[in-house]
Chain A
Amino acid sequence: MIGVWHLVRLALRRDRILLPVWVAFLVFTTLSTTTALQELYDTQQSRDLLGATANANSAFLAMLGPLHDWSSLGGLVVWRWGVFAGLFIAIMAMLVVTRHTRAEEEAGRTELIAATVVGRHAPLAAAVIVAGGTSLLIGVLQALVLIGKDLDPAGAFAFGLSTASVGLVFTGVSAFTAQLSENSRVSNAIAGGFLGVTYLLRAAGDAAGESGPQWLTWFSPIGWTEHVRSFADNRFWVLGVSLAFTVALVGVSAWIVTRRDVGLGLLSARLGPARGTIGTPLGLAWRLQKGSLIGWSIALFAVGVIYGSVAQAVGQMVQDNPTLGQIVSKIGGADAMVDAFFATVTQLIGLIASIYLVQAVLRLRSEETAFRAEPLLATPVSRWGWVASHAAFALAGGAVVLAASGLGLGLVYGVQTDDVGGVLPRMLGAALAQLPAAWVIAGVALLLFGLFPQLTGVSWAVVSVALVLTLLGPALQLDQWVIDVSPFTHVPKYPDITAGPLLWLTGVAVVLLAAGFAGFRRRDLTT
């Protein structure tokens, strides 16, 4: 463990912008969500109504989890923001840990460090300290923000530490996945897949209601934070489960570190073919991107299956609950409720898919900065052809992953309602309707790549803004013009899908893509 503090300082220095942005983003969103909910539900009557509907609505349950305490503002914040805060902090921890462990090792920099007076465990320990410390800092600041809003300090800390606990768990998860593969992309993919499962297990458990497999939530680190019941019961002991899980994962990772060679993983590399069959840029792009495309398709199919299986319960619940039935009948009855559920779900799926599209576009930039574009572009491959080969995976691949989710939704809901032939095409349509909006996001990423290559990373900020505006915009009571910035705002809501907005969104995407292509043809290759 010698030298660990030097490495912590190195990591903090390298992440001097990234980490403060994450902290500020999460703390600020907690604050603005609290303020918005305070204004939105300012009477006890409005909160009671919310309590009655929120816990009876499977869509809400699947997306946000149960509302345990609607008597206090704190309870509302936990319900509206808790699961998302957990997702975001998990992504933060995951990226930070991989960046300072496996990515460093892959780049050969760990070797440089390991040859100095530094203990074998120091790089892993430093990454865990930085990611875990940032998680705790975010949790404590979150608690202080809520206390500043005059909320119960015990509840505030229960919520803040719950959020931090998800960060800690994913610090451990990434510490572990970083040991498995030699490739940092793969370790992030495994950790990201685990995060997806974490979210979906609790979504399924929460949406199932009391009669269903609610115990599923106990298998999800985000589910654990729901069981803390912040502001309602403040069951701090549940956090012990997260802590124990984290300690176990970090311990196993540290043990693996002592057993393996620097630079290698547990999944060892084998010899491959001596002769190649790839002969075109598109062939190479397929080889580089197919793993990600297949993984995302499976993941989004699973998302579709889970939400599809919940949909019938949405309609059922309205029939079981007379009070709710009355409210719902005003907006069009149980069918309208199910439609609204699918509208929300497909929008969420579109947002998730846009992450895939951006990642596929950004592959161009990482190929360029790793000097792997240079030898290709020194062959007769044109700049246009090279960009198109990867852009194809963003544009057509986006259609594939969205279709996979639509397939999942349609098959499961179709089987449940005995109408696969009718439901499946509608669900495919609803999912694919998100494609033009996702293309716009990909277009922005390609535009940045073509015109401002140093700023390509800003694409992730664009995705985050679209996510926040679409998911939280209404709750934050933002002006409509602000919410309109997100292309997903303009996608027609299921079941009233009209071609107009889809056409002009596609037009916007085409303009952005064309500008990106033109920019890249004109510019120097840079690193």
Chain B
Amino acid sequence: MTSAISVSGLVKTFGPTRALDDLNLDVQTGEVHGFLGPNGAGKSTTIRILLGLLRADSGTARLLGGDPWKDTAALHRRLAYVPGDVNLWPNLTGGEVIDLLGRLRGGLNKARREELLERFELDPRKKGRTYSKGNRQKVALVAALSSDVELLILDEPTSGLDPLMEAVFQDCINDERERGRTVLLSSHILAEVEALCDRVSIIRNGHIVETGTLADLRHLTRTSISAELAGPPNGLTSMAGVHDLVAEGNRVRFEVDSDKLDPVLKQLVSSGVRTLTSQPPTLEELFLRHYEDAK
């Protein structure tokens, strides 16, 4: 596997603010990579550096084997970008913008353009100023997805889309994966990343705090257990890896570190289990823990 994007030690400051602080990011060719973080964590700044719109203060960034600042035009021929905040020219129609961006990239797939317009239920004849936020987003998505490029860089591409359209978007990304394209998907919508991404990098305060497959990351997380026991629970409080234990009579609720699951379950069984529900960790929890830890 080669790297489509490889970033190391990236630093970017805006006046007194350190937007990126020694950021490392690696996106393999052909994968859908989630770039996850709260607002203001540095996702858009990283993407703008990768696009050669901003210049890094230090560190190196390689994109499709080139330097994003120096080889800008050549690299841009091979990628498509959807900004988080799509602004259209008020007097151009959506269709004109799609065709303009496609032509500037060196042509777009006409059949695919039509198919995407239909799937996203977008009227390309409306003027830019009359589109809602979600529809502006669709214009940028159709323009990006209908061009034949190797890499898609999507900055919070579903903000403003309704759940139905979000499902369409997920289908489209899965299609892209099958076509063998690389996707960098920045998001703070965790369900989307969970559903789509092969690997995830979590960014906090301009620094990648975690990177890996979802399975890798789950090792660091907890499973929620709630159970009704035959008798009063014993010994759980003192066990390593058990957190937030609530016991009401024979009922218990608690969270357990995933790698301590085995001994804890054995302990439960020793009290006699009537009912048991367990929930796998969601990315939400993973996310919250990272930011709670930061406080």
Where the two chains meet, the residues of A that have a C-beta atom closer than 8 Å to any C-beta of B are 106, 182-183, 269-281, 283-284, 287-288, 370-372, 374-383, 522-525
Contact = CB atoms under 8 A, between A and B. Distances in A.
A376 B52 CA distance: 12
Contact of A382 (B48, B73, B100): B73
A269 B127 CA distance: 8
Interface string B86-127: 111111110111111101111000000000000000011111
B87 A271 contact: no
Nearest to B93: A272
A371 B103 contact: no
Contacts of A275: 95-96, 99, 124
Contacts of B80: 378
A288 B97 CA distance: 13
B48 A183 contact: no
Contacts, number: 123
Main secondary structure of the interface of A (DSSP, over half): loop
A106 B129 CA distance: 8
A525 B93 contact: no
16 contacts: A183-B129, A271-B93, A272-B92, A272-B126, A274-B125, A276-B93, A280-B103, A280-B104, A287-B92, A374-B83, A378-B81, A380-B74, A380-B104, A383-B72, A525-B48, A525-B54
B145 interface: no
B243 interface: no
B77 interface: yes
Given A287-B89, A525-B48, 8 more contacts: A182-B90, A271-B126, A272-B93, A272-B125, A272-B126, A273-B96, A276-B100, A380-B76
7 nearest A-B pairs in the assembled complex, by CB-CB distance: A276-B96, A276-B99, A279-B103, A272-B93, A379-B104, A378-B81, A271-B125
Contact of B53 (A270, A378, A381, A522): A378
B83 A183 contact: no
Given A375-B81, A378-B76, A183 B91 contact: yes
Contacts of A273: 93, 95-96, 125
B55 interface: yes
B105 A371 contact: no
B88 A372 contact: yes
B216 to A, nearest CB: 31
B83 A269 contact: no
B2 interface: no
B53 A375 contact: no
B5 interface: no
A183 B90 contact: yes
Contacts of A288: 89, 91
Interface of B: 48, 51-55, 72-74, 76-77, 79-81, 83, 85-93, 95-101, 103-106, 123-127, 129-130, 140, 153
Contacts of B74: 380
User: Which of B89, B106, B123 has the most CB atoms of chain A within a 10 A radius of its CB?
Assistant: B89
A284 B100 contact: yes
B127 A272 contact: yes
Contacts of A280: 103-104
Given A272-B125, A273-B96, A279-B103, A371 B85 contact: yes
A340 to B, nearest CB: 44
A491 to B, nearest CB: 36
A274 B87 contact: no
B230 to A, nearest CB: 58
A136 B90 CA distance: 36
Contacts of B89: 284, 287-288, 372
A379 B53 contact: no
Contacts of A372: 87-89
A278 B99 contact: yes
Contact of B55 (A183, A277, A524): A524
Contacts of A376: 101, 104
A80 to B, nearest CB: 42
Nearest to B56: A524
Given A287-B92, A525-B54, A277 B99 contact: yes
Contacts of B103: 276, 278-280
Contacts of B81: 375, 378
In this complex, the member of B90, B103, B105 whose beta carbon has the largest number of chain A beta carbons within 10 angstroms is B90
